[in-house]
Structure 1
């Protein structure tokens, strides 16, 4: 688990290292998510409430649309609860590589 930032590139399917937004009292829990590169694949955003024992796919909206991306994207996310971990999971990769960054 990393705090501050997690960076890397998917050249095959699988999860990234986990990332913990700052959970100090009063700390902002906003963080950045960026995916870029020339790729054909799908990357999802997941979070864990039990220190990484299990992972749940995040949604993009209140309607439950999965937070999965198949094109480059850069977002600012916010986590209201302390101690929640995040990671990216590349579920499909047909070609290219997906560079990523989770940072605060």
Structure 2
């Protein structure tokens, strides 16, 4: 699938990104990043039903929510075909969040 890029200057969601998934024995990594000078909260969400229902991702096994209030760059892995990801800007005060999801 094509990379997803854009900006947030208000609350809202990015376009959906579906990582390419190979065999379960390979790492199916993809990149998620946001840059800029902003006062906002951005969270990573995923859907198992092509975007009908979205779930906030956890950043670790303890269930810590994958959300950020400053620029970030992380690598995600997805073993299941058809899972869709997006970024959701849930709170926005000022600035510009420039984001990218790519593989």
TM-score of the two chains, using structure 2 as the length reference = 0.93
Give unpaired runs (5+ residues) of structure 2.
none
Where structure 1 has 5 or more consecutive residues not aligned to the other structure, the ranges are none
Calculate the TM-score normalised by the size of structure 1: 0.93
List structure 1 runs of 4+ shifted beyond 6 angstroms. none
Quote the offset at 1:28 in angstroms: 4.7
Cross-structure match for 2:82: 83
Can you list the C-alpha shifts for 1:54-93, whole angstroms capped at 9, x where unaligned? 1000011100000000000111110111110000000011
Distance in 2, Cα, partners of 1:65 & 1:90: 17
Q: How many residues align?
A: 101
1:18-39 superposed Cα distances (whole Å, 9 cap, x missing partner)? 000013x437521000100000
Is this contact kept in 2: 1:22–1:28, CA < 8 A? no
Which residue does 2:94 correspond to in 1?
95
Equivalence map 1:34-53=2 (5 Å): 34-53=33-52
Aligned twin of 1:21: 19
SS of aligned partner of 1:53: coil
Deviation of 1:4 after TM superposition, in Å, equals 2.8
SS of the aligned residue for 1:86 comes to strand
Aligned counterparts of 1:65 and 1:28: Cα–Cα separation in 2: 23
Q: Is the 8 A contact 1:5 1:102 kept in 2?
A: yes
